[in-house]
Every structure is written in structure tokens, then in C-alpha cells.
Chains A and B, each alone.
Chain A
Amino acid sequence: MKQDLGLYDYWPYENRPKIRWPGGAKLAFWVAPNIEYYELDPPQNPFRTAWPQPIPAIPGYSIRDYGNRVGHVRQMQLLNKYGIRGSVSLSTALCDHHPEIIKQCRDLDWEFFSHGIYNTRYTYGMTEDQEREMIRDSIESIFKHTNQKCAGYLAPALSHSELTLDLFAEVGTELFGNDAGIYTCDLFHDDQPTPIHLRSKKRFVSIPYSLEMNDTIAYVSNKIEPRRYGQILKDNFDQLYKEGDNSGTVMCIPTHNYQISCPHRMKSYEEALEYITGHSDVWVTTGREIAEYYLEHYYDDAVRDIAGKQESKS
């Protein structure tokens, strides 16, 4: 095990090259619904157990199924109401289990990115070949079912190896050149996109996908009240929007239909979406669009700026 994976360099949040998003926007806003499949009886992983009770773990399994049976349509219709196209973090086996959901999202021109095969298949303990095969399977599934060349990755259940980002970028290149495997949502170190070091030297970025705004982190880990969650979303937006005067920022709301789409949580979520999209200098967009725009306009400046700041002087 290493002290640090060397994925990015230290880059202070001042005097960075100025970002302006399309149309002069100050903040790029994207919503990433996780559309996941959890298995009732997954194979044992040596490092992480899927369910707290002996199989069948009805409490955990059934609420996640709620997300697909009930919650998905609710959130989809809500996002559509505010002109937001979802960037779907997809358990790609869901293409096989629930193609209706994939079709609905396709019809709304949503983006799909890879979140592994099942959210009950962890990267922990996989060999490099296994992880590469899993990632390849996921990218191929997305292409087969949506005709999209998968741009982004969020490791299944946030389970990583030291090589996760390398492998994702490499498989993307093998399959679709620079159209696939260009951004990751796995890192929480920044409020702006940042260049990531890969062994292949591919141009690849981290796009902010906030763990703090993630509904499951908020509701399950931090046990936040629904109305307070709505306020937190607005506060997060206000600060990033203000800082966007200096240089464009990114705000992401990562969601799960088994959390955000419960009847007692929809109102505060809608109020936050209405508030955010009601501001003029917001670019309502998707993960891929942010990554592509950044790679084209700001990536090279950022690499130079970061390199120049690795000396001790401020």
C-alpha cells in the first residue's frame, strides 16, 4: 500500500487560470442520478460484505429496488421540469434487467457513465485483468444499449484499486479513442476540474462530484433532515456561485432514487433545483460536457499552472 497514489499535484485555490463556462456562465451545474442494481445474493468479496444481515437482506435490498420501481420516474420527471439532463452513474447490468429505464433516459438525451456492473461487485481483491474486464464490459454495455461512448467513471460502490483510473482511461482509449474514458467522479479534492496523472499520459480530468452533496451520504451517513438537506444544497450553490465571479466552479448533486425520491424528500429537493436553475449565470449541463469543455479550453493552461506551482514560493 502507498501513502498517496500521485493522481494529482497540490494546486492552491487562488490565482488559478480563470475559467468561464459556455455563455459566460460562472457555475457548471450537473445532477448525477445513480441508477443502480444491487443483487439479492451476490458472491462473497474478501474485503467487503454486501449486506449486514444473512441473505436475503430484505431491508437493504428492497429499499434499493424501490429506487428503480418507484423513485426513478419521480426524479426523472422532476429534473425534466427544470431542464436538467441527468448524467447517469449506471450499474450497467441494469441495461439487461431494466431496459425501460435506459430507454426513458435515452429519450431525454441523458448521459450514461459507468458505475461498474452491479453495485454489489466490489473492485477490492480483483486482479488487474479482472478489473480491466469489468470496466470493458461496462463500457461495452453502455455502447450496446445507448450508443454512447462512455466518458466517465465512478467505481462501483466507490470501491477502488490503485489502478482504477488508469484502467478506465486505457480501456476507453482501446474501444473508442479519446471519445471515451476521459473523466472520473471518484475524487473529492476540488471544486473545479483538475488534470489527473495517468501512466498512459492520456488527457484525463477529475470532475467534481460532491460527496457532501450526495443524498445518500447526507441522509444515510450524516443523517440530515430533508428540509436541512435542501438548505445545504442552496448554501453550497450560493458559495460556489459567488466564487464563480473569480473563476468558474462546478456544482454536482449526486443522487439515488431510493433516497431522494422518497415522498418526504422530494419537496426540499425540488425547491433547491428551482433555486439553482433560477440563476442566470448557471450552465446546466452534464459530466461529459464539462469534461470536454475543460479539456478543450483549460486543461493545458491548468497543467502549466500546476507545474509552475510545485516550487515552494507562493
Chain B
Amino acid sequence: MSTNKNYLKYPHRSLGMDHSLYKWSMLDDRPPIQWPNGKKLALWINISLQFFPLNQQNKPFPVPGGMTMPYPDLRHYTLRDYGNRIGIYRFFDALDQYGMQSSIAMNTLVAKRYPYLLNKVIERGHEIICHGDHMDALHYGGQPIEEEAALVQKSLNELRQLSGQPVKGWISPAKNESHNTPKLLAANGIEYFCDWVNDDMPYEFYTDEGALTAMPLSTELEDKFILMNNLHSESSYKDQIIDACDFLLEEASTKGGRILALNLHPWLLGQPHRIHILEQVFEYLSSKKDIWSANPMEIVRVFKS
């Protein structure tokens, strides 16, 4: 087998990106951002509340963290469900103990299935982000646009209705998208989305339905990535957050406001043997006077102002 004769044609080989979704821009060249009260580092904690269905369809791929065993894979189903029953309540306590804010990214099906939990989230005043319908409802290249449009609309409408919140933020399951996802989000009233990990700061993302703000929610610093994908120890997780925090504080002192974004999964860090690590991370972060514990919508507002 050999490559075809067009293999050395480069139709997008020109200034900027090989697409027109956003402008090529180096972070170091942009004007510095000032956070409120002269803080250097915005700390954005996001907690992901996820539902992994037992009858996973794997369309078009098995969602990371999902079922891996023959049906019914009760071990993974229940261990993920643990986060919504037990882990999240440990998270709430830890947040309160250290005076931290957090957004909550929720599969719409979590809100539907667990009204007690939804009400708790609303009462506590968390900003709710839509995390798609459920973890196996993937958005992907090649998905028929009518199908995806219906999925986006249903996920958002139901979550808005159930929560009473405007829901302006979005994280796709597995942070996966089709070419149509951004414009469908914009058409359905989403202001910011968090799937693209190509920046440490917000930037403007273009769609045919208007602009979105791309918010930087690091995958590399996620508990799931570090503990489950990389199989690093809990203490290494803590070290990595501390090193990132110190580095970003230092960078912010000469280059303007930065964001430390931590995406957390209560089915992982909410385990009894791990929750103390999260508390130690919160303790470290709360000891830094230059940190602003912020909600994503607040960060978006400063970015746009």
C-alpha cells in the first residue's frame, strides 16, 4: 500500500491555523488581564457530576471512565455512581471548610435522576454547567447534524428547566465534539465552552451562530487524568497542583492574571482514602493571598470587559 499522489499537497499551509475556528494568537503577545482586587491567579474549581449508563453504546468510541466489562458491568456503574451519592457530599464539606467556590458540570440525566442532589447544588449556589445529556451521549465527527442538534437542545432545555439557572457553560462528554458542536452550542444560548485545551486563558471562538468564549479547563491537571490515566499517586497529584499553582502565580506576577483550573470527579477524589488529599490541596491554595476563588461566568465577564 502506498500513499496517494495528493499526500504531499498542503491546502492549509499558510499564515495562522489550518482552520478558521479561532485566531492564531500566542498568549505571551496578548495584553495582560487584571483580576478583581489585584489578585494574580483565578482559581476555577469545577466538579463534574456524571452518569455512565450501564447499557453503554460506545458510539463512536467507549467513553473514558465508562463501562469496560460485559453487560451488566456493575463494578464500573456503581463505582461511578458512588460519586453522586457519597463523594460529592465529601466535596461539599471540603469546599465549605476552605471557603472555596466551584462550578458544577452536570450531565442533564444526573439532574433528572437525582432531584435531591440537584436541589442541594442549587441551594448551595453553584454555577451549573451542562455536561451533555450523559457520558455515553457523545458528540462526534460524522454525527448527523439533526441528531446532534436535538441532543444539544434537549440537554440544555431540560437542565435549564430543572435547575432554574440560565446555564451558559458547556463541557462535552469526553470533551469530544463534531464540527457542528460549537455552532449548535452558540445557537442554544451557550456563552462559554470548555472542551478545547489549547490555552491557559479564555479566547474567542467563532461560529456561524456567533462567538463563544473558549474556557481553559486543563485535562493534564485533572484528577482523572493524573490518577486514572497516568496512575500517579495521590501525593503526586497534590505535588502537581502545588507546582502548577506556584508556577502560575510567578508567571502572573510579570504577565498578568492567570487561571488555575481544576476539574474534579467525586467518584475518584471523593473516596475515603483520597479526600484528605483534596483537603490538603484546598488548604494550600487557600493559604495563597493572591488567589481569587472564582466562578467561570465571573472569569468570562472579566475577560470580555
Residue numbers of A with Cβ under 8 A of B are 37, 39-41, 43, 45-47, 52-59, 61-66, 68-70, 72-74, 93, 96-101, 117-118, 121, 124-127, 130, 133-134, 137, 219, 223, 225-228, 262-268
Q: How far is the CA of A262 from the CA of B230 in the complex (A)?
A: 15
Residue numbers of B with Cβ under 8 A of A are 1-4, 6-10, 12-19, 24-29, 60-61, 140-142, 174-179, 195-200, 218-221, 229-233, 236, 239-241, 243-248, 251, 260
A–B pairs, 28, beta carbons within 8 Å:
A40-B18, A43-B4, A43-B7, A46-B1, A56-B141, A58-B177, A63-B197, A65-B17, A70-B200, A93-B10, A93-B13, A97-B24, A121-B8, A133-B8, A223-B229, A223-B232, A225-B230, A225-B236, A226-B236, A226-B240, A226-B243, A263-B200, A263-B244, A264-B221, A264-B240, A266-B247, A267-B247, A268-B243
Are the C-beta atoms of B26 and A264 separated by less than 8 Å? no
Min CB–CB distance B245 → chain A (angstroms): 8
Min CB–CB distance A66 → chain B (angstroms): 5
Min CB–CB distance B249 → chain A (angstroms): 10
Known contacts A127-B2, A226-B243; A53 and B197 CB within 8 A of each other: no
Are the C-beta atoms of A69 and B231 separated by less than 8 Å? no
Q: Which residues of B contact A99 (CB under 8 A)?
A: 15
Q: How far is the CA of A223 from the CA of B236 in the complex (A)?
A: 12
Q: How far is the CA of A121 from the CA of B12 in the complex (A)?
A: 13
Q: Closest residue to A55 on the B side, CB-wise?
A: B141
Are the C-beta atoms of B196 and A125 separated by less than 8 Å? no
Are the C-beta atoms of A62 and B198 separated by less than 8 Å? yes
Known contacts A45-B3, A117-B10, A118-B10; A73 and B240 CB within 8 A of each other: no
Are the C-beta atoms of A97 and B15 separated by less than 8 Å? yes
Min CB–CB distance B127 → chain A (angstroms): 23
Q: Which residues of B contact A46 (CB under 8 A)?
A: 1-3
Min CB–CB distance B114 → chain A (angstroms): 28
Residue of B18, B29, B179, B244 with most partner-chain A CB within 10 A = B18
Known contacts A97-B24, A264-B221; A225 and B239 CB within 8 A of each other: yes
Known contacts A47-B1, A56-B179; A130 and B198 CB within 8 A of each other: no
Q: How far is the CA of A164 from the CA of B232 in the complex (A)?
A: 38
Q: How far is the CA of A71 from the CA of B15 in the complex (A)?
A: 19
Q: Closest residue to A60 on the B side, CB-wise?
A: B197
Are the C-beta atoms of B27 and A58 separated by less than 8 Å? no
Q: Closest residue to A262 on the B side, CB-wise?
A: B220
Are the C-beta atoms of A126 and B199 separated by less than 8 Å? no
Are the C-beta atoms of A54 and B140 separated by less than 8 Å? yes
Min CB–CB distance B282 → chain A (angstroms): 17
Q: Which residues of B contact A266 (CB under 8 A)?
A: 243, 247
Known contacts A39-B12, A45-B3, A97-B18; A223 and B26 CB within 8 A of each other: no
Q: Closest residue to B16 on the A side, CB-wise?
A: A97
Are the C-beta atoms of B19 and A40 separated by less than 8 Å? yes
State the 10 A-B residue pairs at the shortest beta-carbon distance, nearest first. A54-B141, A264-B244, A65-B198, A263-B244, A46-B1, A73-B28, A62-B198, A264-B240, A62-B196, A125-B3
Q: How far is the CA of A56 from the CA of B177 in the complex (A)?
A: 7
